[in-house]
Each structure stands twice: as C-alpha cells, then as structure tokens.
Structure 1
Amino acid sequence: MKNLKYIFFAFLMVLVGCEDDDAFGSVALSNLTVNTEVSDDGSGTVIFKPSASGAKSYNYNFGDGTTAESLTGFISKTYRTVGENIFTVTITANGFDGTTMTETVEVSINIPVTNSDLVNLLTDGTSKTWFLAAAQPGHLGLGPAREGIDGDWWYPKWYSAKAFEKCGSDISDCFCDDELTFSVDSNGDVTYVLDNMGQTFFNVGHTAVVGGTSDEDFCYDYDTSGEKAVTISSVEGNVPEAETTGMQMEFADGGFMSYYVGSSTYEILSLSENLLYVRTYDTMNPDLAWYIRFTSAPSTGGGDESLQTIYTNLVWSDEFDVNGAPNPANWTYDIGAGGWGNGEAQEYTDSADNVIVEDGLLKITARGSGVAGGAVHYYDDVTLVASGGGVSVVEDFEGTAPAFTDFGGASTAVISNPDASGENTSTNVGESTKNSGAEVWAGSFFDVAAPLDLTTYSSMEIKTWSPAVGAVVRLKLENQANPDEFFEVDATTSVNEEWEALTFDLSSAPAFTYDRVVLFFDFGVSPTGSAAYTSARIKSENLFEFTYGRVEIRAKLPSAGGTWPALWALGANFDEVGWPATGEIDIMEHVGNNSNTVSSALHFPGNSGGSAVVGATPVSSATSEFHNYTVEWTPESIKFVVDDELIHNSFVNSASTPFNSDFFLIMNIAMGGTLGGAIDGEFIQDSMEVDYVRVYQ
C-alpha cells in the first residue's frame, strides 16, 4: 500500500529541525537548499549540490526508480532514458539531531535519440518481450491526433484506467495476454513478433477485417504469427518536440502492436528499460490517436488456473483465538495521522476501539467522530488587489471546485458557508481541516490556469474564518514547473469565529511564474483534540520477517465509501534503502467506493506509485463473506490468488528485483486519500475482520 510513513515526504515545506541535547551537541538541522548542474553534452549527467546546517548525510530518490546516499551531499547521477524527460528528485537531509528535512527539485534531461539507443532499449541488445501495462493509468488512451482538433492534443482522454476494465471482461481480456517480442541480429536489423495467444482485441471500426459484426470493440480469432521487419525513422508532421522522442517504428506485412486500429506505424513517446509508450493513428479516423503503454514485466496472468503451490510447511500463523489486544509476540502498531503522503484522513491508534481480537477474529475498525477533529478554518474569495484598488478574483468556490492536493495530514474541501454573515455571505467556501496528529506544516494547494499577475497586483486578500485569534496563515505562491521558484508571506487572524479579510503583501515577490496557491492554516502549530477518523495499522516488523513463501489471509472487508483496507508486506530494509527500493507486495487492496473489486500490486524501482504492477478482479461478496487472499512468492515469480484461483499478476521475479530479502506483514484500514477517495458523509464506522494469517514455506 502506498501510504508509507517510512517515506517521510514533507510535500511542500521543509521541516523545522528541533534541538536535541545529544552527545554531539549539534546544531539543529535547518536551511536545506539544493543546487543542480545539468550537463549540456547529451550524456544525461546531473551534479546535485545540497547544503544544510547540521546535516550528517543526504538521501536521494532520483525520480527514475533509483536511490542513493551521500555523506557530503554532492553526488553525480547519470540518467539513461532517451529523449526529453523531466525527473522529480527528492533530497532528504539527515541531521545529527535526529530530524530530517526534505526538498524536491525537477531536472530536465535531454538525451539525443539515435536508432541504436532505441534498438538497445527495445531488444536488450538481443531479444526482449514487452507486455501491456495493465492497470496503469493510460495503458490504452484515446485523444486528438493533432492540434486544432477539439480537446487537448497531448493529454489523451483515458480510454481505460484500470486493469479489470479490460482484463476482467470477456470482450477484451485477450488484450491483456499479448506478448510483443523485439529482436536484433548481428547486422542491426530489428524484427518483431506478436504472440496474441490466438485472439486480438479489435477496434469496432476495423472488425470487418475478421468478418465481425459487433457494434463495440471485441476479441476475435486472428493469426499474428511470423516475424515482421521493423524500420525505425524520424517522425514527420505536427509533433511537439518536448512530448516525443521524435522517432517512430514501422512494421512490415501489416504488423501492429496489440490493439488493432489498422495502423502499422507507431510513434515512440517514451522509452526506458521498463516502459514503452507509443501513439498510433486510426486509419479509419485520422483525427484520432491511440496511446498504449507497455512494460518489460507481465502485469496480469488471469483465468481459472488453480495455484499449484510449492510451499506446504506452516512456519508462522495467527489464528486470533485469544480475546483482547493482538498478540504482542506477533504484532506491533503504526501510530499517527495523515497517511504519510497519501492525503488520508485517519489517525492510526492502538486503541481497542480500533483494533481488537474477539470471537476468534481480528477486527480492525475505522471510526468517524461525526465532526472534524483538530483545527478547522474556512476561507473564501482569494483575490489579487492592485495598489490603486483594482481586483482580480483567483478563486471564489462558486463554480467548479478546484482540485485540492493535501499534505501533512490536512484535508480540504468546498462546503456550504457555515457562517454566512459579516464579511462573507457567499454560498460556498473552502474548508481546511488540520486533523489531530497532523504535521505543523500541514496544508493544501490548488493550481490556477494562468500565472498570477503580480505586475498589476501587489497584494492578495483572502477572507478567513478562524476558531482562534492569533492563528498564523501562511500563503505560499509557487511555480508548478520549478519548485525552486516560490514566495511566502504570513498573516495573522485578529478575530475568532467570524469572517475577516486578511491581506498578504506580495510587493517583494521575485519576478517568477506563480501558478500554484498553497495555504497553511495554524502554521507551526500541532492540532489537538480527537481526529475526525481513527483506525489501526498493525505490523509484524521485527517480530516476524521472512523471505519467500505463501501468505494466506482470510478476511471480510468493509464496504463504506472512503474505506481503503489493505493486506500487504514491506521490505524490512526500508530504513536502509528507502521506498520503492525496498519493495512492496500488496496482497489485497479494496476501495469502498468501488465495492467488491479487489486488487493486488507490486511496487519497486521503475514501477511504483501510479506505475506499479497491478491486477484486479471482481469478488462479488468481498464485503459480506470471508475470502482467502494469497500471495505465492518464490525466487522465480510472485502470484496473487483469491480463493485458491490464480487471478492476476504472475510476476517474473529475478535477482534484479527487491523481492529477494526479508519482508514483514501489515494490515490496516485507511480513510479517503489518493485511492480511498471521498468519504461517505454519513460514515460512522466499518470493520475489516480477519479470521487468520498463515505463512507457509
């Protein structure tokens, strides 16, 4: 599951270091800055030069699935992905005082593309097989073919965003079985073979090729055998340079890549060791382009095949047959709020209200207090003001609500004005909740379509409702494309429980591009009181850790909207190598807002977060009956199983993945966040019940 507290990610702000009377008598960690030097010779090399007072070491997540540590901070990194790419790099300074600070920078890398580069990546120098990137957003996308067509040229309308929409349907599941193999001979000639396992997923406009009569896309028997010659050439036509490698592949003899739209020419948008992203144009409608993602690892298996396990010796279990707290010899707790990076709303506790063993079952219960915990502020009419009195409204919350991004344990939403009086009688306002347990720098941001005009306007006014006098409200303006370009200014509330207009002086803001508005309410203060939602997360860390085996967990899942239960495992070396280098095995995840569909995932370098290797399947009674959720983890493969049937994700394990060392088990229910989504406004409580956890080797 992606909500790892072990990845301490201070999303927009750096933490203020705290003094510690340790043996070093060290200066508190502070003032983290990062300078970068990007080579202009096409080598892809970047030199990072961070600096911070009181730092003893620095950790890097380079944004391409690799990580590193440096004692001095200075480090040279060479990126290998050809073409023009932007990488988001996270640098964490580790202080002698035990605190950490994090800064994020973006580096733009342009590695000139040659035929040999593409051939090497496509074939690994000899032969390489690619698979559909099932369950990744945009594994099959549809968008306009060129500028001038209605819609955004580059970002296609996603045709399918989840694997089960294509891989779990009879009309399209053949799409997910395809194997695309590229080979190169000693002369440098490239050939291609599509193994479609006997069937091809046809676009509805092209089914006449196979005599089809369906009025929708469908799988048909179709022979794709035989090698096809591949020609790699420069792309011609209306193609933005920053959004393509500038190269294309042309397949001889009617060759095509997995989804049949009549085309044999594929523009290469992005290509790395793990990802191939292409665009092709529909021959029946040249105004449409199809986008397809492939990965170097198979992401789905599927079918009714039963698991033939190699592990039958029970080495560890918990049958939950003793009432009370979970067995302390097996489980410990994660405690805290905010979901550690996923914008979740719960606070994890070790209270019996949230986790208890009774009647032969482990019960993890998420509860809602019915009211928002912590500190709640309201705000409205974010407005630029000129010295002469002119105004420009940035956001008044009366139209389409902006897309908020929360961090540090805060949560933000547009609601009806709870106090339509005094300074503000408008209908809708923004609500910012700093939940109990949230970070002192918790807040949220929203992006604006056009940069703020700080030449004409010298201040910003925001109507604010605060529960207390003297609350610090910090405004931070940022450049979305360059996090090093920002300006911060504070204002302080002077009344409580009524509206007032706070003014933020922007006259000294540097002449940057500002298209992101960040707000921190009660900045620097830890909220107190009960959290809006509580839950539990238990783990076997340092108590039971293992390498390889079959894990079987029998569970019944919650159904309420906003619940996000998970049964998963994390690499035990996370504190040494970080995430995703440590690896993550999500045995089962479920979302109450998409009830009775379960998913499994693998996170590792190159395939983490939204690019994880994911599979999903419907389980019609997941929330009303107990089902067995199983992973079979061997040195050669990782397979996910529901009720003894191999459902999805037959992953090829190897020495190059992180799935060859100790992991520990985790069980939890999160609320809301990036996957859990909107929480039911009437939510009171819901539980995940676990009958047993068993590990065989």
Structure 2
Amino acid sequence: MKLINKFSNFYMHLAILLMLASFAACTPDDNEFTLGPTPTSEMVQFSTTPSTGNPNIIEFKNETPGTIKAIWDFGNGSTGEGNQVSNPYPVQGNYTVKLTVFTKDGYTSNTKTVSIASTDVTMLNREDYNFLTGGASNTTGKTWVIDKDFVGHMGVGPIASATPDWWQAPANDKAGQGLYNDEMTFNLNGFAYTYDNKGDTFVNGGNAAGLGGTNQTDDYTLNHTPPANMVWSMVEEGGKKYLVISQRGFIAYYTGSSRYEVLKLTENELYLKTTDAANAANGWWLRLIPKGYTRPVEPKPYKIVDIQDNFDTEGTVVWKKDALTLNESYDNPAPFPINNSAKVAMYAKQEGQAYAFANMFADFDHKLDITNRNIFKIKVFIPGYNDFTTENGESWAIKTLLRQVSIKLQDGSAPEPWVNQVEVKQAVNVLDKWVELTFDFSPYAERKDLDRVVIQVGGEGNYIPGVFFLDDFRLEK
C-alpha cells in the first residue's frame, strides 16, 4: 500500500507541474482575445531627413516599436505606406505630416511639421506636371473633361487587371447623368484642383453614402457641392504613379476614392484607374481629354469583302434596325422556286409617322471597295394583303405604301449619312411570289467613303404599315 501511495503522489505532482508549465507558456501574444493598452500618440515617433540630393525631398522613417503597419499623410495631399518612405515638396511652406501606426494593441497617430525653405522650380518643370496643368506659364490651369465620344471612356473590371474586362462604356453612354458637363482643372500654381460639376455628380450607387447620398444598386446623379481649396499631388509607389486629390476630392465619377493610378498621361489624354470603396475587388477606369479637344479619327481601311446573308446560316453582316420590326429567322411563307429556303427575314413596318423611315442596315469597320464588285442582289416576297392604296404620309412623299425595294450605300460616320448617300431603287410588280432584284452600283464605283448598307422596303415618308420577306442578299463576285 505504501508503494502505491508513493506512485499516486508522484503522478499527482507531475500533473500539477505540467498544468503550471502550460499556463506559463501562454503569453499575451498567444491569446488572440486579449489586447494590451491602446498606444498613445507619444509612442509614435518618426524622423524627417532632407535628401542628400535635394532638400525638397524629405526622407521619412518610422521609429515606433512594435509597428505592424505605418500609414503616412504628407500634408500636401499625398499619402504613403511603409516604415521608410519619401515625399517631394517642390513648393516652399510648412506641411503637417501625420503618421498613423498599427500595433497588436491598436493604432494611433502623431504629427510633425516639415518646413521647406524655398520652392524648387526644377521640380515643377516636369513632363507629367506640364501635361496635366499646362505648365507654369498657364496661370489659369488646364481643364479636363470625360472623353464621352470614345468607347471605353468609363470601365469596370478586376482591380488587379490592366484593362476594364467586365464593361466598357459605349460612346455617350451616360448622357444626361451629370457626368459629361463636369470640368476638372489642375493648376501648377499651388497645386490647386478645381472640380466644377455644375451642381450634380454621377455617383457609384454602392458608395453614394460617402457623399451624403443613399447607397443603391444602380449608379445615379446626386446633388453635390465640391469642397473648396482642394490640391492635387503626384506620387510614385511600387513603380506606379498616382494622382491624389486632397479633402476626399475626386474626378468626375464618385467611387469613394481620391487616389488614381495614372495609366497614361499625354498632352491630350489622361487615363486613370481607381478603386471601389464598396468592393475592393473592383477597379474603375476613366479616360479624359482637355476641354475643347477633338480626338482625331483614325481612317478606316479601304477594302473589298464578301457581303451575303441567306438567313439560314450565319452571314457576313450584322443587321441593325431603325424603327423596324425584323425577324432574321422566319419560316419561309412560300417555299417554292425561286426560293426553297427554310428560313427568311421578315421585315415589318408599323403604322404611323414614327415608322416613316423604317429600314435595316449594316455598318462595316472598313470603307467598301466597290470598284470591281458593285452588283447587289436580293430575293423579295411582297404579300398581296398589304394596303397599297391608302394615302397617309409626309407632304413631300408618295403617301402610299410602295411595292419597292431600295438599297442605299452611306458614310455611317457622317453626321447626316443620308445627305451624300447613293441609292438604287427597284419596283416589284409581282405579288405573293418570290422575285430576285438586281441593284447596280457601278456608276458609284469610285466612291471611297461608303461603309454602311441600308435596305428599305415599301418606300419612305409614308405612314402605312407593311409586311415583307427577304432572302439571299449578296454582293456579286
């Protein structure tokens, strides 16, 4: 019995020692549910040293023990991150620099004043500054606007992507949203930034609360007065250049960010990417041009291509419609010679003035070379149940529905493409039967400005409805 008691006492003491040892091994660092006291501002220390090469460039070093993360506000609209950073101060003055440090026990900030004795004009005479502001001689600054006519003037995609992969705005896509009349002026004098938004701003719906609005699913226009006395700054971090706006300012479209990566900056283009405050995975792209600048249009190539569509298989043209109901895969209403095709196009013109110029058309990414190939052919079926006798239409037009097919070639880039169009019309004298029509454009073979093909059935200027069927449209070889 004594031997057993000795062993029992031994194991009891051993268990107690192991328990004490396990408690001793648990330090505050191991306990994720316990924080020490919040650091005080006095604990935040950093040094400021003028660069040996230029006293207007200040080197900053965080000297706060236990720092996990260091965030800098350099007092001139620029920000930075890291324990050792630098920031340029081209202009004379006093700047309040704030360092915010994060430790395992919390975060806090401290400030110092950096005094710059004199302005370094050589630092102001930079290509990017001059492109952005117009240079020191441009005392009123340089005003930029959204490049609304350029496809991709706005875009969204993964923030890590080089391009807006998810969506790019078509030309003039946000007309009436309070975006295209905004003017952003950058001035080298005092690095002033002025945002003239004409009283309203187009906002990202998910971030609207940051501007005093209500967060919504869709973007919308919000009444907003931009802050006065904003400044801009250009900083370089990690091999990238950023344009930063002070006072939480922004450029044209509000996403909750005041910091923009500069993707391209030339005399006539400013291309930016910024973050989405509501969704860190999203990036937003903006493309701007100087106010009053017109982007030159790259000329389209001039070439000959196959143009055909039988409406059974995929053709070489993409049809658009203007005030027209178009079904490109309709059962052939009369599958007999000369057209046994299973599918045809149904061309339906509705009644009323709004449909007086109904047509279908196709735009090409090149100018049409019709020097040697200039004969278009098409099969058409005109039902006899259409009303060809009632008169109603424009005063200058034939007011009845016409038994007619017209093919027009236009310059689709022209403000009024119909002014310089060329047109060939063919009357159809047989109803309820397929006929093939030929359109000879050889008299216009020397034209080199045509990039649109228009098909119009029933005439134009009349308000009479009509249903027609088309097939086997082609440019003859």
- Is TM > 0.5 for Structure 1 vs Structure 2? no
Which has the larger strand fraction? 1
Give TM class, smaller chain.
Answer: 0.3 to 0.5
| TM-score normalised by the chain length of structure 1 | 0.28
Which has the larger helix fraction? 2
